[in-house]
Every structure is written in structure tokens, then in C-alpha cells.
Chains A and B, each alone.
Chain A
């Protein structure tokens, strides 16, 4: 298998050479149909963990409540920091009542949870359709509760957002409340939820590079809002923050284009992008990243052996597909068949797209039955898909990697590069072990 590797990757930690031909021309198969993808409400599952003083109150239907608890695997938390204000028939009959009811639910919640410093009112499909104005509701509630509690609102509705876009709309609604930077010296803001452990690793490397101050957005406490201004350089940790980035740019910040910090090459490129913006000499970058990069290469080697030459098919799910496909192709020797993404925002993947081989099918959106037809036709060695498709495909004899795990696992950075590869190698390993 390793003999068929597309390029000599062993030990290579440099950013791969772009496939010049497809920088802009890689054709995109746009599809419109049934989507087997969560809506933006699902982002609450990790956002409420990231920001420990925040509560997320969905204003929606029983379906919304059921969705979040099903997506969250139900009941792993004693009392979660999220809930649903379930709309009833009376709320539909009159919006005046609905607003009163909403205020009552908020009051009830805040009495119960006096530890909450930020309350997100999260719009849903039904609240959008009945035009319940949560922005005005938040303003109204702020008059009562601010500064003890700041009330914000965003939409996680399925008619407007897909899965990880819920984080985008959430962060975007925080942007107007970020304080202005107080100096002209350059500052770095890392945008997108990272596992705490990864954040700490990255902080250490930024310190070694002499880059600072570094702010992470979202912060661990919603009350500790990071400053923003024309001296802020934005480095994206997640490839799904379209609106947030534009809102931050509108406040004067500059976006640093870089591949995402997945794999050794991606992480190298990411730190170099930061270093370049802060005039850190190359030698210092090499010095600060050598040790973690080298051990990551060593750790990756064993998975490269298993994954090399394997054909892989990505169903659209979390928006992570493009950078992960790049990582799997260049650092694990994976052959990409189709890379599906819920939507394609070129601003966010400008540095990633040219790194994808021109032979793949890049698809945007979904018509799940047609995509399943293509997948069955291609018979890939591994299919990355949601949990609604995984067992049915396994039953058809296809090996799968369920995509949601990629969102719920620390996969960024050097020391997680091998963990990331392992997630893809495990189903293949398992298939080899089993004799039944």
C-alpha cells in the first residue's frame, strides 16, 4: 500500500506545494436536496462547555429540545447549561404573549441559575418563521438584567444555518460587544472554539515565538470578552466562521490567510502565518516548533502506513472536510474520491483549496440519496459521514468514520496530529481485527 503513496511524505513538515492548476478552477458540484446534516443548534453542545458562565436558551419547539439532547447523546450532564423554551399553541396565537412568556422563562432560569453571566437566546426554525424578534427581546431583557447578566441572541435555525455555522452565528453576535483595543501594537486573536488543552499548547508556542498579546475567541468565560481593533490580526482555528470573520474585519481586524492547524504541515503553516505578521524571524519559528513538529511526524508515521493509498469519501458535515482532506492527502497518503462540504466560503479556504489534488470531486450542499449512489459506486475504503448514515453503510460492507467525533475531539495542533489520523485509521484497524 505504501508503495502507491502519491508523494514522499515521510518526515516532510513543510507546507505542500499548491496544485497550481486548481487554485480557482477546481470544479464544484453544487447540490440541492435532502441534507443529512445537523442544524446550527447543535453547536450549543460544545459552546456551552467552552464558555463556562454562559447559558444557551433555545426558543423553539419540542423538536429543537429533542434534537439537542439526541445530538448530545442525552443526559451526560447533571444539569446542562442549555435548555429550550418550548413554544406552545398559545405562543403561536399571539406574539405579545410569546414575548411575555419568554421573559417569564428567562426570569425562571436566572432565578435558578444565579451563576449565569451571559445568556444566549438562540433562535430556531419556528421562532424565525413566526418572526419572534429575539434581538429586541435581548435588548428588553438587558434593560432588566444587565450588568448582572448580559443577554445576547443568535440564530441556530436549520432554515439558515448548518451544524457548525451555529458557532459562527453565536460568535458573530458577541462581536459588537467586544471592547476596543487600547493600544496600536499588534495583537493576535485566535478565532474558533479549541479544546482547552490545545489552547494551552498553542499559548505556549505563541509565548516561545514572542507573539502577544494573544486572545482566544470564544473565551473560556463569556464575560472575559477579548479586545478587537485595527491592530488585531485574526488567525482562524476553525473553517466555519464566515460571518464572524467579516464582523471582526468590519471592526478593523486583519485576517491572516493560512491553512488550518491540522496535521504537522497545517500547524507549521499556521504558526508561520502568525510569525510573519509579527515579524518573528524564521529561525525562531523553527526553534519554537521543532520539538513538537518532530514528535508529531514520528507519531504520524504508523498511521501513514495504515492509511496510505486508501480511498476516502467525505460526506458534508462539519465544514472541516476541506482542511482534513488536505491533511489526510498530504500527510497520510490518502487518496481522495469526493470531498463534500455543506457550503463553500472561499474567503475561509483560500489557502486550503489549492492544496487539494485536481482529481477529486468537490461537492457543496447535498442531495443525500444521489450522494449515496455516488459513494456506493465508488466503493471507497473509508467513508466519513454522519451517524445517520454510518451504520447503514457499514451494513452494506463499507467502512465508515462518523464525522461528529471530529468536532468533539481535540484534533488541532502538533500533539493531536496523530490522534487525528488515528480516528481515521481505527475503523480500518477494527475491520482487520474482527473475524465475525
Chain B
């Protein structure tokens, strides 16, 4: 039993729903009680889907449990087949149905329905959403392609010289982060390389198109969390090679191009030449990130402290971009994808930080607070953590929110994806000169702790008012006082800005009083940082709020290491000299 406030992933049958809903001609019969239909909302609301997910829920009730729930399954399978006329069916169960052991998949397979029926067994008490999606995709592909698998040892036919190479793009699903646009961007990139896209799956696929997968020359595994298992099976069964580099960021996109060139046997030099790095080439390049990053106005990005959290694929990509392409400093990283814990541990070691491998939101929140980043790159959960701590944030990974499904074209992959990433990550930050002015003229009445970047006009008015010390308790300010939930949710402003929530200030300025942080406070009291003299405290407040946390932390650490029993103005500057910016 694990106490959880928020979860990063849903149960595995939600992963199966993502596969079914991403495709056409597939229907999912889910043995589940009332209430599980909540998952429909993920698609109709977050993705704004214009049709219901192709899912029929058996909706059993307590009074059915003594009777024949198996008969209910059969009736639902029969009705769903007749009403929706799918060309392939997934049959499975949610957590409660797993306990009553009706084996709905087996039941359905015995009904003589003349379409492929995939029996999904997704253990709800040990596995999660991404695993469920991956397994579902694999079993569906396998069921449909099994009759085509050549005898072991059969060599793969050479591509005819007069046919362009063909690639399948595997792994894109609904509720994935920007998957729709990534598929478009990678398709464009492959076209530049002379490679045709053959099948895109699961998103946009049909049972028929899945059966054409082996006609391509290779597979591109866009999102390993979803497609790796399937790609490996296709390698084993059809000897189809897999391109595994995920092309997010300039470096990764270039490596992806090289890998495609090798696997497809095409000359990729012209494209790489066009996208030369380290040069302006503003007129000919599709990628502007390298030049924008070298442009002097980006100097202020140097060494910005950034915390990265999300699924493994996006965290790996984001860490590399942050460190190598934007010149940030990584102060923390982690993932909720335990399946990829080893990769992330290696990555963390590379950047010299402690990996945060957890699906416990509170652990992540604590890690973020401890790392005192200037920018958080995370999921929509971290968006809330960042908001609470008053730190700018950009979303880089699922789980997503309705505002992470933008109307405009905004891929993460390929050269255009890198452009989007540059804009998205830099946007929430304070611009260079403004940051300087804030540091110089803290006393300016317009530069309260509520001061946010002047190009953003989100929520300051309210925030500035509530930021006044002594108004209300933390809880009042942090928690929306009415359960407006989805209503509030739909109305959130698009740009998530460090809205100068007073939490940050409060947490730094005085001992945190809210119950939520009482544990941290207790811990702090135990280890006993030296007290701040009033002058030093006043001096600390002259430091802009977005770096004040770090300054306070460093000073206290310095005081402790030097055995000081109080913190004076000098201690503050001694620490500054000791640690540097």
C-alpha cells in the first residue's frame, strides 16, 4: 500500500485506451465498474477529441457480483461488435475486474466473432499506464502480423533499387507530449533525406495499416516507452532494423539523421551541411536554436540552474539540450519511468546530480525545492510545484494538461522542434537586462517580490496584492478556495509563469508555517541553521526573489561549515564570495 496524493501515470488499462483511441477500426471492451468511464475525459477534454474513445465498459455493479458477470462481458462484446463494427477488438479488465477473474479476453475469443480479438492481461496492481500502452501496442501488432512472420532464418529481401527507402514511425499516441506534431516534423525530416514514411502507428493507424508494417525497410522508435517492445519484436520476427535515436534537440537530431542514413543507405550530408552548427546561416537553416543560443543576448542564459523531470525519453533529451545547447546548469533530474531508472541514473551521474527516480509527487517537490532551480522543466505536475515555489517552468513531458495540446504546430522533434523548445524554455525567464535592473534597483516600488518578466502579463495584479506580508495564511493563498477543478483548469492562462506566489518568499523569509511544509521546517529546526541578524535579513531581502533562495541556502551552509552562531551582513557577502554566483 502506498500513500499517494497525485499520480504521474494512470493504471495500465488507461495505456490500452491510449492505443485504442489513437487508432481507427479498433474497439476496446473493458470489464470495469461504473466510474472508470472517467478516463474518457482524458481524451475528450485534454485532447479535445471530437469523438468518444472506442471503449465499451461492462459497468458491473455490486449486485452483479454474486451472479453472472461473465455473461455481462459476453453481451457487451457482442453489442460492441454489432454497434461499432470494429476490425480488431481489444478485450481486457480494469483493476476491480481483475479481482473477480472472469478472464474477459478468453471469453471473447471463444465467441466466434470473426475479427482478431486481443486478450489484454494488464496487471493493474503492479504495472502502470505506459507499460499498459506498450504491451497493448505490442500484442495488437503481434496478433495482426503473426501470420506473416517468415520462417526463422529467412533473409530479409533487399530494397529494390528504384524504390525510395520506407520507414514506419512507431510510438506516437494520444496524451503523449506533442506526438501529433512530432510525427509531422519527423515525416518532413525524412522526406528531406529521401525516405518515405510508410506506416505511422499507433496514432492514425488502422488494423489494416498495422498489417503493412513489414513492407517498410526499417522502424523509427519515436517513443521507447510505447514502442520499444514492438520494435524489438519486429527486429526479431521480420529482421526490421530500428532507428533508436530520439531526435529531440539539435545534437540528437543530427545523430538521428546519421543513423537514418546508415540504416536506409541514403546520403544525409546535404541536410547536415545545410543545418551547420556554430554558424549563423539564418537564411538557409531550418534550425535557429544554435544561432539564437550563440547570439549575445542569450548570454544571460549561461549557467541558469535547471531541474528536469518527466518520462525517460523527454528527460534525456531535455537534459542534453539544457546542458549542451542552451548552456544551462543541471541541478537535478529524474523520472517517474522506473523502467528506465538505469539510464537516468547514468545521466544523473554524468551531470553530477542525485537522480530522482520516483513516482511520488511529494518527493519530486522536495527535490525541486532543495535544488533551488531557476527553471523547472517537467510535467504538468512540476508546473504546479514550480508555481508553488515561484519558479518559472516549461512542460516537456506527459502527463499533460489541456494547455499542453496547443492549436499551433509545436513539435519537439527535429529542427523545428528545437526552435519550439528554445522559445518555450526561454520565454518564462526574466530577460537579461531586466534581471540586471531588478538586482540594481530593488527598492523601486514597481519591483516588489511580485515583479515578473515584463513581457508576461499573467497574474501579477492579484499576486502582488496577496504577496504583501501577513495577509492570510499560506494555505489560503496557495489553495484555490473553491473546488472549481475542471472549470478552473480549463481557464488557466497559457503561459505558466512563476507568478510570484508568496510561498517562495515565505518559505525563505521565515520558517514555513503551513502544514504542508511543517516536516521540512521541523527538519530545518533539528539541523539548526544559525539565526539571521535583522540587518542581514534586510540585506537578504534586497536580493531578487528568484535568486534569494539560493543566497539564503548558501549563506546558511557557509555559516554552518564555518561554525558561525549567527548570520551577519558580512556572512552573506562572505558566502557570496565563497560560492560565486
Contacts and interface: CB of A to CB of B under 8 A. Distances in A.
B1 A89 contact: no
Interface stretch (A101-109, A203-211, A230-238): A101-109
Interface stretch (A60-68, A344-352, A425-433): A60-68
Contacts of A57: 3
Contact of B1 (A39, A71, A88, A162): A88
8 contacts: A36-B37, A76-B489, A77-B480, A88-B2, A88-B125, A388-B44, A390-B44, A405-B487
Contacts of A111: 519
A223 interface: no
A157 B33 contact: yes
A147 interface: no
Interface stretch (A14-22, A123-131, A174-182, A305-313): A123-131
A27 B3 CA distance: 47
A313 B13 CA distance: 32
Interface string B19-46: 0000000000000011111111110110
A395 to B, nearest CB: 4
Interface string B50-71: 1110001111111011000000
Interface stretch (A79-87, A251-259, A353-361): A79-87
B87 interface: no
A45 interface: yes
A63 B124 contact: yes
Indicate the size class of the contact surface on chain A: 35 or more
Nearest to A69: B6
A433 B96 CA distance: 46
A408 B483 contact: yes
B111 interface: no
Which of B5, B383, B485 gathers most chain A CB within 10 Å?
B485
Interface string B68-93: 00000000100100010000000000
Given A36-B40, A392-B51, A408-B484, A74 B95 contact: no
Interface in A28-44: 33-42
Given A62-B11, A73-B485, A387-B486, 7 more contacts: A34-B59, A78-B503, A79-B516, A125-B95, A130-B99, A158-B36, A369-B83
Indicate the size class of the contact surface on chain B: 35 or more
Contacts of A41: 35
A162 B34 contact: yes
A357 B13 CA distance: 43
A275 interface: no
A113 B515 CA distance: 6
B11 A387 contact: no
A216 interface: no
B126 interface: yes
A85 B485 contact: no
Which of A35, A45, A389 gathers most chain B CB within 10 Å?
A35
B480 to A, nearest CB: 5
B257 interface: no
B133 interface: no
Which of A62, A80, A86, A91 gathers most chain B CB within 10 Å?
A62
Given A76-B489, A160-B61, A390-B44, A65 B35 contact: no
A75 interface: yes
B95 A61 contact: yes
A75 B384 contact: yes
- What are the 8 closest A-B residue pairs judged by CB atoms, nearest first? A39-B35, A158-B35, A73-B489, A388-B40, A395-B50, A101-B1, A61-B95, A125-B96
Interface in A103-160: 104-105, 108-109, 111-115, 125-126, 128-130, 157-160
A91 B2 CA distance: 10
A391 B35 contact: no
A221 B196 CA distance: 64
A67 B41 CA distance: 10
A278 interface: no
A376 to B, nearest CB: 13
Interface of A: 33-42, 45-46, 48-49, 57, 59, 61-63, 65-67, 69-80, 82-89, 91-92, 98, 101-102, 104-105, 108-109, 111-115, 125-126, 128-130, 157-160, 162, 195, 369, 386-392, 394-395, 404-405, 408-409
B100 interface: yes
Which of B34, B36, B44 gathers most chain A CB within 10 Å?
B34
B489 A74 contact: yes
B38 A76 contact: no
Given A65-B7, A129-B100, A395-B50, A387 B483 contact: no
B4 interface: yes
Contacts of A49: 481-483
Contacts of A87: 1, 125
A88 B362 CA distance: 19
Interface string B484-513: 111111100000000000010000000000
A66 to B, nearest CB: 4
A69 B96 CA distance: 19
Which of A46, A66, A85, A404 gathers most chain B CB within 10 Å?
A66
Contact of A389 (B52, B60, B126): B52
B94 A63 contact: yes
Contact of B37 (A37, A69, A101, A160): A37
Given A89-B125, A391-B48, A395-B50, A74 B83 contact: no
Contacts of A395: 50-51
Given A62-B95, A160-B61, A70 B41 contact: yes
Contacts of B383: 75
A75 B96 contact: no
B486 A73 contact: yes
A126 B95 contact: yes
B384 A108 contact: no
Interface in B358-391: 362, 380-381, 383-384, 388
B125 A71 contact: no
A392 B50 contact: yes
Interface string B168-196: 00000000000000000000000000000
B478 interface: yes
Contacts of A59: 1
Given A390-B44, A395-B51, A158 B34 contact: yes
A87 B327 CA distance: 43
Contacts of A62: 7, 9-11, 95, 124, 128
A158 B33 contact: yes
Nearest to B480: A76
Contacts of B443: none
B234 to A, nearest CB: 30
Contacts of B11: 61-63, 66
Nearest to B127: A62
Contacts of A83: 3-5
A92 B95 CA distance: 11
B518 interface: yes
Contacts of A386: 41
A256 B11 CA distance: 45
Contacts of A162: 34
Nearest to A99: B1
B401 interface: yes
